[in-house]
Chains A and B, each alone.
Chain A
Amino acid sequence: MRAAGALVESSGKGGGPNKPNQYASASIPGGLTVSFSVDLCRAQPARKPIALAVLLLSMAAGVCADERAVSIPHGTVDLLSEQQSIQPGRALLLGLHFRLEKGWHIYWVNPGDSGEPPRLEWRLPAGLRAGAIEWPAPGRLPIPPLVDYGYGGEVLLPVRIETTAALAAGGAATLAAEMKAVVCREVCIPAKAHLSLSLPVRAERPRESAETLALFTTARKALPKPAPSSWRPTARDLGDNFELSVHTSQTISQAWFAPLDPLVIENAAPQKTASTKAGFRLILKKSDQLLKPISRLHGVLVLPEGAYLIDAPVAPSPVRRPKEEQ
């Protein structure tokens, strides 16, 4: 059971062939209820007290860890909480958790040349407000001659939930969202899921959920960090390319840049890295679709040891952009 001790439910809608459509409920002493999908969990609804106890134990042990996951084409998705309860006045972190079959992927906020990022439409009770998805550093997904940005395998996309004065302790809050995404390999399949998660609202400081702690720790590490100010990222417009310079004051052998804005660079063009005394330079080919000068180069710099948010001022082109026919 991922958010142990919490009131949890989830249901599938418009999913793939393994759409979970049978649910079993079990009451836990203390008035809490868990629901789970029989399809995915392979457990049978328990009617006898002993069977129920065994079932709860197996869930607590994580045997049935993904019982709430909703089937989507070539994977599952569920909504997880980092903590076991909500405390008025304290924000909490939820996570949109994807598990995909090998070879299939979903997309980053800028999906690159094709595809579409997952979207959430929240239904929250009064007193709760959802922030935007916080995007972990993406992978570079070549689909020759294109390059997309996204995630394969397992990924957790965190979403910060703020509490407002309207939230009072007592009872439970159900946080629900309609999720839309597209799951792709060579081909793409639209995915929809209705996700929901109920957490008790308590005055005391929430405890972390042991079941989800590792996933959230990994997700936090995968979020791009603000670039250290000493790096002083700057960019120059070289006509057909941008040159991004970063003063890392250490040798960087491998780096690539994922733009947050589409239509800025050619995603599929090789990015040339050159070491400098102060750090390194990256040559990024301009997008053919970029028709006007830009003043900032905004994106994520992916280095072997981690990813960093870059917002570099762009110095104008020293020479006019040469025309192709010259």
Chain B
Amino acid sequence: MKRGFAFAVILVVTAVSIVALAARVGEAAPNFTATDSNGKAHSLSSYRGKFVVLEWHNQGCPYTKKHYDSGNMERLQKEWTHKGVIWLTVISSAPGTQGYVTAEEENEYLRRMKAAPTGALLDPTGDLGHLYGAKTTPHMFIINPDGVLIYDGAIDDKPTSDQADIPTSRNYVSLALSEAMAGKPVGTPTSRPYGCSVKYAH
């Protein structure tokens, strides 16, 4: 009986925490633990004190290609990880869908593209994607050193798949990181993420 009550309490607490988990700018970013393509586990909570960028990724999506084939995403990864930012690429494509990769295939891709994220998280169940409400590839999130979500949206202000638009675009991720690191409020904390739909399992 007592055990049954305790179980009920746990159920209620779980239900409440699931409601509280929705990622919303200005609120605590939901914690997660996920494994990267080298088998290393990454927990958001272990990165307290650092800025964390989450980048939803699908190597077959034309919008992802825009930013990788141009070298734009790799440049951003190098620039910001050199400044101490944790950059996690997340692949939520389900097996059999566009962008799904094995760990080996992802490592080969990272080498070929000279990509430099802190890690590429493999999320074939889509759990991490659903936890953050990731909609598109790319879809970018930034978490500040206090664990608060400070940006949720597009990589930049030119919602096209055309590489030619990159030089004249305003990069929302760089702007938000620069502002937050300077102790300023983020001028554009949300924007419509643009790209391909994340290929979740159905």
Contact = CB atoms under 8 A, between A and B. Distances in A.
Interface of A: 113-116, 119, 143-146, 148, 180, 182, 184, 186-190, 262-263, 288-291, 324-325
Given A114-B135, A145-B200, A146-B197, A289 B160 contact: no
A186 B160 contact: no
The 6 closest A-B pairs by CB, nearest first: A262-B192, A289-B190, A114-B197, A190-B161, A113-B135, A143-B197
Q: Decide if the interface of chain A is mainly helix, strand, loop or mixed.
A: loop
B62 A190 contact: yes
Interface in B10-46: 16, 19-20, 22-27
Given A114-B195, A145-B200, A291-B189, A182 B25 contact: no
B89 interface: no
A3 to B, nearest CB: 30
Does more than half of chain B's interface fall in helix, strand or loop, or is it mixed? loop
A324 B24 CA distance: 10
B136 A288 contact: no
Residue from B152, B153, B194 with most neighbouring chain A CB atoms (10 Å): B194
Contacts of B161: 116, 182, 188, 190
Contacts of B26: 291
B133 interface: yes
10 contacts: A114-B197, A116-B194, A144-B200, A145-B130, A187-B98, A187-B196, A190-B62, A263-B191, A288-B24, A325-B20
Given A263-B190, A289-B190, A324-B20, A180 B162 contact: yes
Interface residues of B, number: 37
A146 B20 CA distance: 21
A178 to B, nearest CB: 11
Given A186-B97, A289-B152, A289-B153, A148 B197 contact: yes
Contacts of A188: 61-63, 161, 196
B16 to A, nearest CB: 8
B130 A187 contact: no
B202 A182 contact: no
Given A146-B135, A186-B98, A190-B62, A113 B190 contact: no
